[in-house]
Amino acid sequence: MRGRKPKPSGLKLVTGTDRSDRQNPSEPKPQPACPEPPDHLKGEARAEWDRVCGQLCALGILSQIDRAALAAYCQAYGRWVQAETALDVMAHRDTVTHGLMFRIQGGNP
């Protein structure tokens, strides 16, 4: 295909460039649905799934095909929260570098 890649119809509608003569009748349009969360999501990751999934479902922009991408985001969010918690604990122990630098047994960074 030559030229620019075609924009999805939803994006054309939002940007105000939607025209009836340029619509793609064969464009895939997945049905809005709320996918079930994967079993491996725990703790903060599962809480983020519930929060985001509820909002996206209410807007009607989430479908079954989005499950893996949403799960990856939620898992990354959960790990980020764990990392921030661990840094906070280390910051209380180390008042100089606030847990951002480790020292070996000899005291060297």
pTM of the model: 0.74
DSSP state string for 56-105: HHHHT---GGGHHHHHHHHHHHHHHHHHHHHHHHHHHH-TTTTTSS---T
Please report the pLDDT score of residue 56 as a whole number. Answer: 94
Please report the pLDDT score of residue 37 as a whole number. Answer: 96
Split the chain (109 residues) into runs of 10 and give each run's mean pLDDT.
80 85 84 94 97 94 94 98 89 77 76
The domain locations on the chain are 30-35+42-98
Tokens of 78: 């959960």
Please report the pLDDT score of residue 1 as a whole number. Answer: 58
Please report the pLDDT score of residue 71 as a whole number. Answer: 97
